Amino acid sequence: DDAIKLDPAALLHLSIASNANVSSNANINYIPTVHPSSSHTMSNSLIVGGHVVDIEMHPYQVSVRELNEHICGGSIITNRWVLTAGHCVDDTIAAYMNVRVGSAFYAKGGTIHPVDSVTTHPDHVPYSWLADFALLQLKHAIVFSTIAQPIALAFRLDNALSDRECVVTGWGRTLNEEESFDKLRAVQIPLVSRVLCNATYEGKIDQTMICAGDFVDGGKGSCAYDSGGPLVCGDMQVGIVSWGKGCAMPGYPDVYSSVLYARAWINSIVHNSIE
Could you list the active site residues?
A: 87, 132, 227
- Sequence-distant (6+) residues with CB within 8 A of 97 are 64, 65, 66, 89, 114, 115, 118, 136
CA distance 155 to 137: 22
Q: Are 157 and 260 in contact (CB under 8 A)?
A: yes
CA distance 196 to 275: 44
CA distance 22 to 134: 27
Write the single-letter amino acid at 11: L
Please report which residue ranges of 70-201 form alpha helices under DSSP H: 194-200
